[in-house]
Amino acid sequence: MSVFDFSTLQPDLILDALTHCGLDVSSGLLALNSYENRVYQFSAYVADGLRPEKYVVKFYRPQRWTEQQLLEEHSFAFELAAADIPVVAPFVINGQSLQQYMGYYFALFPSRGGRTLEVDNDEQLAMLGRFLGRLHLVGNAKKFIHRPAFTIESQLLQSQQVLNALPYIPSYIRPAFDVVLEQVIALCIAQYQPKRMIRLHGDCHAGNLFYVDQGPFFVDLDDCRSGPAIQDLWMMLSGDRQQQRDTLELMLEEYEQYYEFDPAELRLIEPLRAMRMVHYMAWLARRWQDPAFPMNFPWFATDKYWEQQCLVLKEQLFFLQQAPLSLVPDY
């Protein structure tokens, strides 16, 4: 089974896997939005159940993570849940949170609904600050052994190798693209020198957050890895420098009730932003053999897209050359 191969994951196999876990499925399978994995919502009866309950099953992309890495993700979720931090942890079935059927790893979760987090809502951002402070307190208590870290090698250099071999970047753009990418990487190497790496959510943006009256929560930790704390904060920042500063101060006021923030990490924001940009381009390239990607990202193979990416990299190069964001107002 290749890293791209979900071809054998047909409805009958999914239903057989759920039956294997002791679930009596009473509904169809509703596909949820996920490109990296295959995720479905369904209703099922459990033993002696009087009415069906809603569940979510996630089939992990083959060969993306090892068994040890997936178990480490689940272990982190259980630690957070035990500390009363709102994440959706997988069910343990027959003593195991990670299930296996016909070559696929999968996990079952309770179905949780909520509203999308409003990034311009001060109350919700303050709650998120408290949530992340508590999450990082737990994240700092132990270290990942098997999960990867945010590094120049994994996010930039390996991505650069993928992009260097990519045939979709047109020849008239390629020289300028390669030069600006090299310049961005050089500045990131110089600037990205984190002093402390902790266990993180790793992909903390509004699309991965839900909100209920009690506060925000994550549905899973699929991209959890080690990195600087600012990685889980910077994607909530938008607008000009003053707006970013105001948002960050609002979140940190609550965050630091639980976990101390090192202001030196502010200089890591733009390198981390560049790492995310480049890694995303390479992620699409790596997944292009999966039929779901050309269907959902048809613009990836167009000249216009690569013209835009060249401009985006030039803009990011400019930001890398500026003074980092500071909690002290600019005068």
Which one of 5, 12, 16, 203 is the catalytic residue?
203
Which one of 220, 222, 232, 290 is the catalytic residue?
220
Active-site annotation holds for 220? yes
Active-site annotation holds for 203? yes
- Bridge partners of 24, per DSSP, are 45
Q: Which residues are catalytic?
A: 203, 220
